[in-house]
Amino acid sequence: MFKQRARLLILLAGITAIVGACSGGVKEGADVPQTAKENPAKRVPLTLVSISPIEEMEVVYLEPLRKKHPHLDVRYIQSSKANGTTIPELLATGVKFDLYTNSRGGFEETLLDYDLKYDMSDLIRKHNVDIGHLEPTAIESMRQMFDGKLYGLPVKMNSLLLYYNKTLFDTFGVSYPKDGMSWAETLDLANRMTRFDGSVQYYGIGSHGTGAMIGWNPYSLPLVDGTKRIPTVHTNAQWQTLVQSVLLNPVFTKAYKEIGKIPDWSTFSKDRRVAMLLYTAAAPLALTKEFSSLDWDMVSFPVLPGLAEVGSQVSPNYLGITSLSEHKEAAMEAIKFWTSLEFFVENSKGGTLMASRAKEVRETLGSESPFPSKNWQAVTYYPFAPLAATTNVDSKARSIYEKHLNALLAGTVDLNTGLRMMAEETQKMIDEQPNP
């Protein structure tokens, strides 16, 4: 069984939206030894690269792998501008790294920008890697992006759900939220909990921000139509539903006018003036100290208007073999272990949302975490929404969408004007970008 430390660390690489970009690490040189023949009798050198801290990767990934496969001599390089170990710098110094991992978006971008992509399909079949238990939305997204090729497999992921402050509900004599609520039920509860009491303004619901609601929306709405190269905000009616019914709800707009933002993690955990918070599944492990000071629990992500029973999209972390690798067979051995039920179950126990639909993985989620008594089954209460298609201009488009959504929340423009301005500015940005 992995150490508790491993279970607490594994989330850090996949939740930069919460804790920011990673820094530090150890710079490795290009003198990676080569072994001509790969077999269990000989140690095979492998190099793994990602942006995550070396401490996390050593404890979570490398130590368990060495115990399982002692012949795999895996080294780790943290890709870091501060250390001169960015991907282009590694390539310039001749480092032929075998394995690369990153969250969705960054993973594909790196493979494409530096021609590192390698279709693992044949090796997956040859090594009998069980991909049947892996999160289907993450696998399907990879195949759709690359014409059926598998350049990476999902290992862990993140999603959205609804946290609540039990103390506030007890104080005001209101029943707790429950799994399976619709957005209408959630908003009704939020309105009941929004009140001015004892010179303090309380808000019924907050959020991780407009960016998370856009990027992980259960409608699976892409920001940009990659084929037509146009923004989707004025071509898909569900955008108006998401914006008008969800983001521009009375609690968010009231808070934005009063405190200049949607109630967020700080308002929930520090100020303790928010009853419910739409936030990431990774949060309890990333923010253990803060959660430990709260009387809290969690329920499933609300079902949004017009949808069947479905949760948010997920943000998977992919792991793949690079085209540079001279030890692809050995690299696949490593991937087979890191995507195995054995590895997934142990990390799931610690509270990490692993990229698997297997019963034994999901039922053990959080059972040995710092918060074993919490409602961890809320995380996977509903199937996850399909992942929206991505493009090379998504990050720029998201910034534009967020800017105009904030204007709508502030009430400085009406809905139709705001959506039109959002579409026009996004289209202008797209037209200025080269075709991928």
The 3-class SS string of 349-410 reads: HCCCCECECCHHHHCCCCCCCCCCCCCHHHCCCCCCCCCCCCCCCHHHHHHHHHHHHHHHHH
Closest CA to 163 of 266, 18, 265: 265
Query: pLDDT tens digits for the chain (436 residues)?
Result: 444 444 444 434 333 334 333 333 333 333 333 333 445 558 999 999 999 999 989 989 999 999 999 999 999 999 999 999 999 999 999 999 999 999 998 999 999 999 999 999 999 999 999 999 999 999 999 999 999 999 999 999 999 999 999 999 999 999 999 999 999 999 999 999 999 999 999 999 999 989 889 999 999 999 999 999 999 998 999 999 999 999 999 999 999 999 999 999 999 999 999 999 999 999 999 999 999 999 999 999 999 999 989 999 999 999 999 999 999 999 999 999 999 999 999 999 999 999 999 999 999 999 999 999 999 999 999 999 999 998 889 989 999 999 999 999 999 999 999 999 999 999 999 999 887 6
Q: Which residues of 22-57 are buried (b: 16+ CB within 10 A; e: fewer)?
A: beebeebeeebeebeebeeeeebbbbbbbbbbbebb
Contact 147, 268 (CB under 8 A): no
Contact 400, 233 (CB under 8 A): no
Instruction: Say what the pTM is.
Output: 0.88
The type of residue at 143 is R
Tell me the domains of the chain and their CATH numbers.
Answer: 4-156+316-357 (3.40.190.10), 160-312+388-432 (3.40.190.10)
Contact 294, 304 (CB under 8 A): no
Rounded to whole angstroms, the Cα distance separating 148 from 140 reads: 8
Strand pairing report for 72-78 and 44-50? parallel
Strand partners, 222: none
The DSSP code for 12 is G
Residue 402 CA: distances (Å) to CA of 72, 212, 260: 45, 10, 14
DSSP-derived secondary structure for 88-116: HHHHHTT----EEEEETTHHHHHHHHTT-
Q: What sections of 132-275 are H helices per DSSP?
A: 136-145, 166-171, 183-193, 210-215, 237-241, 250-259, 265-269
